[in-house]
Structure 1
Amino acid sequence: MRKLKGTVKETAKQKRERKQEFAKMRQQINTIVIPTFAVIFLLICIYVYFKTRPTSMQYA
């Protein structure tokens, strides 16, 4: 049996489900991914700050 050329047209139900999945993924990006990157960036900044700050010199 031969296959038809082109893509299969999706139904209204499939389109609605796809849009709901896309909206859920966008929400997860805002609630999980961005705060995670912010925390990692903050930890890197704190690490660099403590490694590059001048140390007090004590003379005996």
Structure 2
Amino acid sequence: MQVTYDSVADLAEALRRAETAHGRHEQETGQPDPDWPTWYAQYMMDEQAGDAGPASPSG
């Protein structure tokens, strides 16, 4: 799947949503995630596919 954004503003908003979701993920696990870039990328792909939700990305 290819992930695309229509503008810098759209990409920035997607990153903010991923940041918020990742913060919840870290609270649930009780530890920092050193591989946060991969988590963000998966979340953003899932979101564009219509699968982003309260669950953490798999993988």
Pick the TM interval, shorter chain: 0.3 to 0.5
- Between Structure 1 and Structure 2, the one with more helix by share is 1
- Give the TM-score taking structure 1 as reference length: 0.38
Q: Which has the larger radius of gyration?
A: 1
- Give the TM-score taking structure 2 as reference length: 0.39
